[in-house]
Chains A and B, each alone.
Chain A
Amino acid sequence: MRIFRSLTDGIGFDLVLVGAAMAFLLAMAGLPLVYNVLMSFQQVDMFTLGSLVRPWAGLDNYRAVIAQPEFWLVMKNTGLFVVGSIAGQFTLGFALALFFHQKFPGSATIRGLFLVSWVMPGLVVGGIWSFILAGDYGVLNALLQGAGVIHAPVFWKSDPNLSIWAVIIANIWLGLAFNMLLLSVGLAAIPRDIYEAAELDGATAWARFRTITLPMMRSTIGAVLSLGLIGTLQQFDLFPAITEGGPANTSNVSQYWAWQMSFKLYDFARGATISVMMLVLVLVAAVVYVRSTRSEVRG
């Protein structure tokens, strides 16, 4: 009876609410995570797929993955994808955030329209960009040729040197709005009178940006960059829609490669191994993210 009362009217009530959510999360995210690490040290094939106890493989899976001929290409592409996407999303997003920070009629509404990209299914976005970036009949090539930037059509998706950039362009479009929104929140938190004081002292716009905006935005920028890294490593849907990692893996990245290992080649051990390697990278980003929001976490 006392236990029941505690559940509706005491600390037990809080524990039940948090506990239920935590139990669900641990079962559906925590355990799979541990299981993933376990599988990366096991031999997994069609015969042992159904059993928990499998032959121990030690570091064999890791050696095998690194020995794959495409390993370094995929790692290079992953790095390029992350750096290129974040650089594009962040600079364009920051520029737009600064632009919309000026008060003018309709600024909030128009800024909100940008966020439609964020609620679109990734596969649809990938499909649209795949068509825009097409070599022979794509509208981007037509516009660039019309403007005189290029003279022959660029084969974004099938040129081995450019295919990763086709996905990066689409990913910049997809992530730009969210970057802009978060940076706008940071900008809005800076007291206006600091700017007014600086302006009275004769500081130029650039000086105000460099000495007020950037330092005041440090924790926001840290959070946005680490969220960008996390989001970019989570980006998956654009790959099947635009290039499928091709041609010849020149646009393949680790998250798509891991999936291909498991679900195209049915080599779940290698899929798990690549996932564990990625995880290390993601956790580094997560620590940076949590540190940069720690001051705000307690609200």
Chain B
Amino acid sequence: MNMVKRPWAWFGFALFFAAIYLFPLYWMYVTSLKSQSEIFASPPTFWPNAPDFGAYPYVWFQRHMPAYLWNSLVIASGVTALTVFFGTGCAYVLARYRSLWVDIGLFTILMLQVLPASVMVTPLFVAFNQLGLLNLPRTAVILGASAKAMPFFVVLTRAAFMSVPRELEEAALVDGNSRLGAFVSIVLPLVRNGVLVCAILTFMTAFGEYIYSKSIIQDADLQPASVGLQAFLGPNSKDWNSIMAYSAIYVTPILAIFVLLQRRIVSGLTSGALK
């Protein structure tokens, strides 16, 4: 019990654990700055001898990153828009009532949440092929990935709606608002932040989407950055500084958003994740 009286020792341990845990991220950035020969040095250097940013412009232009990132952006935006559009209202209704039907709805959604993407991709591919949707491959990926993202979004957003007092909505109804009016003008503004955090989480997940894109999008010009990375990543990869520079460009925006919104994201997750 002596330790409790020394909170700064705990703080030190916490920093130490975090440093170990975040080492892979550090390693990504450091490796991206190393020269081709320094990568294979044994023992490895923990700080580059001569930091060299040359790999960044190299992968940016040689690996066509602007096009890949644009496609990732298109797919992630589409997935987020569809998920928020369909998911928000559903979460609102599931939070508003308590009945057997709500339980059945939640159960269905939880069941759809557990389906692995690798299981769903085979029937989706064959069905999209029959419907001719493979000619619009990014749309097809957006449709499939939205269905994958929506259950989690609904479960998290529902928790945000549960925190809105019923009385506020009832007061609006007594004042002559319609249900639609009360929903748009009273309830939605109150949960705006919660919905926004869930939308950002959806966006970040969709930004890294791989399996649907890899399976459905054949045209290299329409593929997202994850598929572009996989093109030079495998058991026998060698140009690690390029891979790490590519990865760094890819994830740094996500990491920046995460660090900026960390507090909100964590509280949004903790309130809804187990419900």
Contacts and interface: CB of A to CB of B under 8 A. Distances in A.
A7 B148 CA distance: 28
Nearest to A12: B179
Interface in B221-237: 226, 229-230, 233-235, 237
B273 interface: yes
* Interface class of chain B by DSSP: helix
Interface residues of B, number: 112
Contacts of A112: 262-263, 265-266
Q: How large is the interface on A (under 10, 10 to 19, 20 to 34, 35 or more residues)?
A: 35 or more
A255 interface: yes
Interface string B197-232: 000010011011011001100000000001001100
Contacts of A44: 126
A198 interface: no
A234 B120 CA distance: 11
A205 B82 CA distance: 49
Nearest to B146: A28
A62 B201 CA distance: 38
A25 B126 contact: no
B274 A223 contact: yes
A35 B162 contact: no
B144 interface: yes
B126 A268 contact: yes
Nearest to B162: A299
Given A33-B120, A130-B237, A275-B119, A185 B178 contact: no
B250 A121 contact: yes
B40 A236 contact: no
Contacts of B211: 236-237, 259
A32 B147 CA distance: 11
Contact of A105 (B11, B22, B103, B105): B11
Contacts of B179: 8-10, 13-14
A68 interface: no
Contact of B233 (A25, A103, A127): A127
B120 A255 contact: no
30 contacts: A9-B180, A14-B96, A20-B90, A21-B87, A24-B82, A35-B123, A39-B122, A99-B10, A102-B3, A104-B14, A114-B18, A116-B22, A116-B255, A122-B210, A127-B243, A128-B27, A137-B40, A142-B43, A177-B21, A181-B269, A186-B274, A223-B274, A234-B117, A237-B226, A240-B214, A258-B119, A263-B121, A282-B115, A293-B274, A299-B162
Interface of A: 8-10, 13-14, 16-18, 20-22, 24-25, 27-33, 35-36, 39, 44, 49-52, 96, 99-100, 102-117, 119-132, 136-137, 139, 142, 145-146, 157-158, 173, 176-177, 181-182, 184-186, 220, 223, 230, 233-234, 236-237, 240-244, 246-247, 255-256, 258-259, 262-263, 268, 271-272, 275, 278-279, 282-283, 285-286, 289-290, 293, 296-299
